[in-house]
Amino acid sequence: MNLNLDLTETGFGMFFKPYQIISLDILWNSQETLSSRQVWEQANNQLTGTISRASIINFLNASVDNGLLDYVETTGKGGHRRLYSSKLSKSETSNYLSEKVKESLLTL
């Protein structure tokens, strides 16, 4: 897991940028799998500025690699695409991140 820890922040802000927290929240609250476009559109509706779709895609893929999200791959117009879902609930994500920080500290 490759997450940066910002001790000047609290909660999920210690690990994620605001648009990333919004993206996770969208997936936590979704009853279905979502494409990167759907997450991107919903996130931009909630942000005061805009975030690039590439930033959303990179974050979603990194979150899959970090064990926070799942995906299924589908084919459609334009080729293959991923549909994302949360692997963990919000509270499970909090516990997971806490455990990862503890594990990292114990390896010192």
Specify the pLDDT at position 77: 81
- Write the single-letter amino acid at 86: S
| DSSP secondary structure letters along 19-39 | HHHHHHHHHHT-SS-EEHHHH
For residue 2, name the pLDDT band (cuts at 50, 70, 90).
low
pLDDT tens string 29-56: 999 999 999 999 999 999 888 899 999 9
Residue 1: pLDDT over 60 = no
Going by the DSSP 8-state scheme, the letter that residue 16 receives in this structure is S
Q: Which domains occur in the chain, in start order?
A: 16-106 (1.10.10.10)
Specify the pLDDT at position 46: 93
pLDDT tens string 63-106: 999 999 999 999 888 788 999 999 999 999 999 999 988 988 88
Residues contacting 63, CB < 8 A, separation 6+: 24, 69
Enumerate helices (H) and strands (E) in the chain, giving the number of each.
4, 3
> What tokens were used for 96?
């997971």
Specify the pLDDT at position 92: 96
**What global pTM score does this model have?**
0.90
